[in-house]
A and B are shown apart, each in its own frame.
Chain A
Amino acid sequence: MKGVIILMNQFKIVEIKQSIYKNNDVEAEKLRGKLKANNKFLLNLMSSPGSGKTTTLLRTIEQLKDSMRIGIMEADIDSDVDAKIIAGTGVKTIQLHTGGMCHLDAKMTSDGIDNLGIDDLDFIVLENVGNLVCPAEFDTGATKSAMILSVPEGDDKPLKYPLMFKVVDVLLINKIDTLEMFDFDMDAVCKRAKKLNPDIKIFPISARTGEGIESWTDWLKAQVLEVKTVSNPNRDCMGK
């Protein structure tokens, strides 16, 4: 960070022009690079509390655990409620305690990855702290990110929390089995989300009944396959 020096009257100004967010962004790129080089897919899963992250994960694991090696990092301020539930499926799970922090950053995620040990895994999910505000601001270094919005929360959330909808690759609309009980305009939500994020992929699901889960897990399978077939200079190359 060598500054440019400008002299003005009795003041000397040292120009720096450096982003303070740089540290987390650099950590995030490092982690992303490491994951890519090792052909691993890390998903950052976010939502507000109670939208069904853990239940959705249970369904996802059920569908995918025979075709890939899965690892889960649960992040909460306290308790190991979620980790215990997920560990019940038999997949490798760790619980991260943020100790009051409202989100995870790249360093915490990277430390979590080291603790989990991913050499024997293909697909890792970081279940982020339940919060629609802060996690959107911090790049965790994940390959892709997804958020869950559940029907009872309402269709105005893209208007109230635009950044979260803007930064994610996927929107899962959960609890569609309750559509009849709530005034939830599915078209309006999709329009609002696509306005903020034209490339967002939307999967309406019910983690409880299993409806719509297959489209979501098909997308995940494709993502995991993509990181596995990305050119790797350490792999044998046929015919080239």
Chain B
Amino acid sequence: MHEITLLVELIKAVETAATQNNINEIDTVVVQIGELSSIVPRYMMEYFPNAAEGTILENSKLKIEIIPASGLCHHCNKVFKIMKNKGLCPYCKTGDWELLSGMEFILKEIILRESLDPN
């Protein structure tokens, strides 16, 4: 949810990074979305072109990587995949764990197409 607001924030962050790193033309922006973050990747892809219109990302692509949700079991100290195991530690079958990953929305990297002309 809130994909449009998040896209606006993403574009602001890219614009700041572009200024700080002297970037003019962006081929692709890569984001990482946590599996539990309630962000719907499909909506991000759909709304991206409209959100990017008139900005530095107007002609750029959006690439999404999903970060799986992992938990650290407080009982047996093992790390496990939360969705696959339905929220229960597969080693000791308890539900007492803390979230290690899965709630992120990260601007991972900006990919620029280098000019083929050495000049």
Instruction: Enumerate chain B residues within 8 angstroms of A10, measured Cβ to Cβ.
Output: 113-114, 116
- Any chain A CB within 8 A of the CB of B45? no
Of A17-25, A54-62, A121-129, the one contacting chain B is A17-25
Instruction: Enumerate chain B residues within 8 angstroms of A7, measured Cβ to Cβ.
Output: 114
How far apart sit A18 and B17, CA to CA, in the bound complex (Å)?
10
- Any chain B CB within 8 A of the CB of A14? yes
- Any chain B CB within 8 A of the CB of A237? no
CB-based contact B104/A1 at 8 Å: no
Find residues 77-119 in chain B having any chain A CB closer than 8 Å to their own CB.
95-96, 104-114, 116
- Any chain B CB within 8 A of the CB of A15? yes
Q: Hey, what's the 0/1 contact readout for A1-34 against B, CB within 8 Å counting as 1?
A: 1110101001111111111110100000000000
Q: How many residues of A are in contact with the other chain, CB < 8 A?
A: 23
CB-based contact A18/B107 at 8 Å: yes
Closest residue on chain B to residue A18 by CB atoms:
B107
Closest residue on chain B to residue A6 by CB atoms:
B109
Closest residue on chain A to residue B115 by CB atoms:
A10
Instruction: Enumerate chain A residues within 8 angstroms of B109, measured Cβ to Cβ.
Output: 3, 13-17
Q: Hey, what's the 0/1 contact readout for B15-27 against A, CB within 8 Å counting as 1?
A: 0110011010001
CB-based contact B106/A19 at 8 Å: yes
A-B contact count (CB 8 A): 75
Q: Hey, what's the 0/1 contact readout for A125-169 against B, CB within 8 Å counting as 1?
A: 000000001100100000000000000000000000000000000
Known interface pairs A16-B109, A20-B6, A20-B10; A134-B1 also in contact (CB < 8 Å)? yes
- Any chain A CB within 8 A of the CB of B2? yes
- Any chain B CB within 8 A of the CB of A198? yes
How far apart sit A3 and B20, CA to CA, in the bound complex (Å)?
8
Instruction: Enumerate chain A residues within 8 angstroms of B58, measured Cβ to Cβ.
Output: none
The distance from the CB of B32 to the nearest CB of chain A, in whole angstroms, is 9
CB-based contact A11/B114 at 8 Å: yes
Of the A-B pairs whose beta carbons lie under 8 Å apart in the complex, a sample of 8, sorted by A's number, is: A3-B21, A11-B27, A16-B108, A17-B107, A19-B106, A20-B9, A20-B31, A20-B106
The chain B residues found within 8 Å of chain A, CB to CB, are 1-2, 6, 9-10, 13, 16-17, 20-21, 23, 27, 31, 38, 95-96, 104-114, 116
Beyond the given A3-B21, A17-B108, A20-B105, could you list 17 further A-B residue pairs with CB under 8 A, ordered by the A residue number? A1-B16, A1-B21, A2-B20, A5-B21, A11-B111, A11-B112, A11-B113, A14-B110, A15-B109, A16-B107, A19-B106, A20-B31, A20-B107, A133-B1, A134-B2, A137-B2, A198-B96
